[in-house]
Amino acid sequence: MYRSQRNYENLEKRLFNVPGKYGIPVIEPTHLKRKIDFIPFNYAKTIDHPENKGIHFFLDDYQFNRVWARPRTYLHMIQKFAYVMSPDFSIYVDFPLVIQLYNHYRKHWLAAYWQENGVEVIPSISWGNEESFEWCFDGEPHYSTVAVSSVGTQSSQEGRSVFLQGYMEMMRRLEPEAIIFYGDVPEQCKGNIIPIGSFQEKFKKFSITPQIDLKELNLMKKAKKIWNLYREGELQGIFTSSEISDLTGMHKNNVSNYAELGSLYKGIYRIEKADESLANEWATVTEGITAGARR
């Protein structure tokens, strides 16, 4: 059991001997040499031409915990991409300190492991409150391209203040050459910022409901796909509560009225127009709802 537990924590795969109070593995600086699109990790297996893409991990932790549990399994896939951001394990201020430190360590262990295996890793910088500044920049490179996310931090004055304070501290300590910015960019944030839209921001542009076509052959496949994405947390903020209710009823009871059908088509339209990689996945969705739902 002891050896198995050590193996799970990846100590038998690689033990980095580094200076510092907490032994955080060091990430080498990376310089972005060309403009590329970044996709979330949970679409990495299905994307075409990964050599022209980058991966980000600005997702719920459960979406990518598997790269820590099985780093060798995912290494070959990771190596195919032009750039990979270090995995953004959460360090929320209400987490116990030991969990915050553990997540910071995991992020750096994976990033250093990937770099040793030829992956171009862009450091994802994250922080909690001011107390986290003692350790949250440990192992981060100076004068590198870095990545940050403001998603989930801008809805309250306290959240905005904590984010901005950490951003300023990052700029002071690390002096990054460029900042890949995921989510809304507060006007107080300065530097060589490269904005990339969050998943939610992509879909805010699309609000047109196309004409209903009852002969859509893949209707229920698409309904199930939308439902699964919603359950995985990918569609938060895209649908209204009434639309979510329609999708929920449709998934459980089949389509029973035009309101449900309209909500479904609105979702299909938004997703297919905003993200081609999602549209390409429709054909592979497992049949899970009876053919009678197409009536």
User: Is the model's pLDDT at 186 over the cut of 70?
Assistant: yes
Amino acid identity for residue 292 in this structure:
G
Domain parsing of the chain, residue ranges: 13-197, 203-294
User: Is the model's pLDDT at 294 over the cut of 80?
Assistant: no
Of 216, 290, 213, nearest in space to 253 by CA: 290
Q: Kindly give the pairing relationship between strand 53-56 and strand 145-149.
A: unpaired
Burial (CB count <10 Å: 0-12, 13-18, 19+), residue 79: middle
Please state, in angstroms and rounded to a whole number, the distance separating the CA atoms of residues 85 and 125.
Answer: 10
Please state, in angstroms and rounded to a whole number, the distance separating the CA atoms of residues 113 and 250.
Answer: 45
For 218-256, the pLDDT digits (tens) are 455 555 566 566 555 555 555 555 555 555 554 444 444
What does the angle CA 201 – CA 111 – CA 101 come to, to the nearest 5 degrees?
A: 85
Amino acid identity for residue 192 in this structure:
N
Please state, in angstroms and rounded to a whole number, the distance separating the CA atoms of residues 221 and 31.
Answer: 42
Task: For residue 7, give Cα distances in angstroms to 15, 69, 72, 108, 215.
Answer: 11, 9, 12, 17, 53
Cα torsion for 91, 95, 96, 98, to the nearest 10°? -20
Please state, in angstroms and rounded to a whole number, the distance separating the CA atoms of residues 215 and 259.
Answer: 17
Residue 43, pLDDT score: 86
Burial (CB count <10 Å: 0-12, 13-18, 19+), residue 173: middle
DSSP assignment of 236-285: TTTS-HHHHHHHHHHHHH---SHHHHHHHHHHHHHHHHH-HHHHTTGGGP
Other CB atoms within 10 Å distance of the CB of residue 292: 9
- Residue 193 DSSP code: E
Q: Lowest mean pLDDT: which of 17-26, 89-98, 136-145, 239-248?
A: 239-248
Residues contacting residue 130 through CB under 8 Å, at least 6 positions apart: 165
Average pLDDT of the residues in 269-290: 41
Average pLDDT of the residues in 87-111: 93
Average pLDDT of the residues in 85-105: 93
Exposed e or buried b for every residue in 179-218, given b needs 16+ CB within 10 A?
bbbbbbeeeebeeeeeebbbbebbbeeeeeeeeeeeeeee
Mean pLDDT of the residues in the chain = 75
Strands of 35-99 (E only): list them. 37-40, 53-56, 83-85
Average pLDDT of the residues in 166-193: 96
pTM beyond 0.85: no
